[in-house]
Chain A
Amino acid sequence: MEQVVQQIVGGLATGAIYACIALAIVMIYQAIDHLNFAQGEMAMFSTYIAWQLMQWGMPYWGAFFLTIAISFVLGYAIERAVFKPVHNAPVLSHIVIFIALFVIINSMAGFIWEFTIKPFPTPFGTKPVLGGGILSAHGAGMIAVTGIMLVLLYLFFRFTRIGLAMRAASANPDSARLVGIRVGFMNALGWGMAAAIGAVAGIMIAPVVFLEPNMMVTILLYGFAGAVVGGLTSPGGAVFGGFAVGVIENLASLIPHFGAEMKLTIALALIILVLTLKPNGLFGRKIVSRV
């Protein structure tokens, strides 16, 4: 029993990571009606930037916020430079662009910083928070940061004019233009925000999984699984889904043979299961589109 509890709490800690990514995925989808799966790689690249800043002597939180700012700019720039020309092309072209970005960013990271694994510092320390060593200080910190980010994003989209404009631009770009919203600019902002969210996620995750160019690939999938479980249209659901995936993954590792090697399969099975049984996820809204 104690093992189960241990796994659950540990699952919540890793789930915080997935929740972060799941949130990013859903927010991006809400904001720009697109999903860029090179985002994981962008998050990884941002984490390397943070690492480099710290290598050059910058204190942790300074590097944290500066990286967020840099990532925002980079995300914005990539959208304008690379994605904008194919904005009206069919989804297929978008997918190829995402693949290309994925490969480029992954390679560039390896090129600049090499493929060797690097440790990444945490500001929260590693001392256990709850008795029994189930939740480390870093794990608690991760959950806290995710929570803060969620609240800030919710407030932004709900109560600011730009947030409203972004939502409108993604929900109905034609009508958005007719009220004077510059939809292209909104899209670029969306990418910038996605990159910033990804940077936070990457910086939070790196101490746990260690910094290397391929660190985000599997995590992105877990995040996606979380987003699917929660329902692709619900930010709260995404966060819940992320935590759920973390817990389920840890619990599954208790089953014999389903060790660390089978984690991705679990994510896949989860996605398939949810999609077959409850396609809108646990909290998703059914989207009815009129013909």
Chain B
Amino acid sequence: MKTTSPVTILIAGIGATVITLAQNWKLSGFIFILIAGILFPLTASGVFTFQITQLLIYAIAIAGLNLLTGFNGQFSLGHSAFYAIGAYVSAILMTQFDMPFYLTIPFAAAVCFVFGFLFGLPALRLEGIYLALATFALAIATPQILKFKPIEHLTGGVQGLALFHMKPEAPFGLPLDQDQWTFYVTFAVTILMFFLAFSLVNSRSGRAMKAIRDNQIAAKVTGINLSLFKTLTFGVSALFTGVAGSLSALLIAFVAPDSFQITLAVAIFVGMVVGGVGWIPGAFLGALFILFVPNIAEHIAFGLAAFSDFVRGFIPFFPTIGEQSSKGLTGTVYGVFLILLIYVMPSGLAGLLRLAVQRLAQARG
């Protein structure tokens, strides 16, 4: 458990001053995030640091999917494939070619971009639910492809690749342990990726993407090259999720085919919906959801199991929910959560916030 040192308090103090002095709230907001990020691993436990690092990684993955679905209208339930590719590219480059981790990230990004672009080509022919199903197929096939015997010498087959011994140490002899350094690397990449995402979304290309989402035919009529934009967006989206995958290889220090199952793709998708489709910052909320809600569902399921045992004490023929079976209940609770979510918050948290802002504006005006 790290304790707060006088140095960190000093930094916090300077930070607070800067924020209050800064006129531009965006700038001060950014500085606040920066300082929070710098201070965080120094004051938090190793486990918590690990979790938040994972959160950032999921956020990048979700942002990637959001670019494709939220901003360009193409559904994907297959982004676990790109996450896996990113992770494996990094792992392979590190184990087979002794490449330092930082260098593997751009490679992972490039490879994923290419794969995303290539998958975007047949995806041009599919819409809506059919595209979802095709990408679903991609996600399910991914673990199989990763276990493919002829490439086992590269991928490590079913056992995957271990990277424990390759986690980079903090440079310049800084007094940081691996968890902390991993966090800083991830934090820096997160800032970069989200900066890129915001820039893209607010650029001319971003407007073209959104035009395609809103009305393909109208977009085409204004001269936007549909095929080019849609496939490029697929590529960029894959790039983002691939970078997230690459970082996850660093964090978990291990890649194996079964780590990248369809449940991951579904999780990323659900995270996007929760955060709010078409709203980049929502990715963090979505990541929060997918990190903690399955646990909550599990706890509720166990609670129900305990409750049924309790009731059984009074009503002998009340069904018992054994430990095995409460696993089944977890899924049910999670599914019910999801349904309620989509009824209550169809536009995710973004929609809720938008509604709140609207109401506030109405109240004022």
Contact = CB atoms under 8 A, between A and B. Distances in A.
Interface of A: 34-35, 37, 82, 85-86, 89-97, 99-104, 106-112, 114-115, 217-218, 221, 224-225, 228, 232, 257, 261-265, 267-268, 271-272, 275-276, 279, 291
B350 interface: no
Given A221-B137, A261-B147, A276-B121, A96 B273 contact: yes
Given A96-B270, A104-B332, A291-B217, A264 B69 contact: no
Nearest to A259: B149
B325 A114 contact: yes
B173 interface: no
Nearest to B69: A92
B335 A101 contact: yes
A275 B126 contact: yes
Contact of A106 (B119, B141, B331, B343): B331
Given A35-B130, A108-B328, A257-B148, A225 B336 contact: no
A229 B138 CA distance: 16
Contacts of A217: 140
Interface of B: 69, 75, 77, 119, 121-123, 125-126, 128-130, 132-134, 136-138, 140-141, 144-145, 147-150, 217, 266, 269-270, 273, 277, 321, 324-325, 327-332, 334-336, 338-339, 341-343, 346
Contacts of A267: 137, 141
A112 B319 CA distance: 10
B183 to A, nearest CB: 31
A93 B332 contact: no
A231 to B, nearest CB: 12
A224 B343 CA distance: 28
B268 to A, nearest CB: 12
A99 B270 contact: yes
A8 to B, nearest CB: 24
Contacts, number: 145
Nearest to A260: B144
B270 A111 contact: no
A112 B325 CA distance: 8
A94 B129 contact: yes
Contacts of B148: 257, 261-262, 265
A107 B329 contact: yes
B343 to A, nearest CB: 6
Given A257-B150, A276-B122, A93 B136 contact: no
A107 B335 contact: yes
Contacts of A111: 321, 325, 327-329, 332
B125 A95 contact: no
Contact of B122 (A225, A263, A275): A275
Nearest to B138: A268
Given A96-B270, A99-B269, A111-B332, A275 B339 contact: no
Given A94-B129, A275-B125, A264 B140 contact: yes
Nearest to A110: B328
Contacts of B321: 111
A265 B144 contact: yes
Nearest to B322: A114
A227 to B, nearest CB: 9
A92 B129 contact: no
A258 to B, nearest CB: 9
Which of B69, B123, B132, B341 neighbours the largest number of chain A CB atoms within 10 Å of its CB? B132
Contact of B129 (A85, A95, A264): A95
Contacts of B332: 103-104, 107-108, 111
Contacts of A103: 331-332, 334-335, 338
A289 B360 CA distance: 42
B136 A221 contact: yes
A267 B137 CA distance: 8
Which of B133, B270, B277, B336 neighbours the largest number of chain A CB atoms within 10 Å of its CB? B133
Contacts of B136: 37, 221
5 contacts: A92-B69, A108-B332, A111-B329, A268-B140, A276-B125
B327 A110 contact: yes
Contacts of B144: 261-265
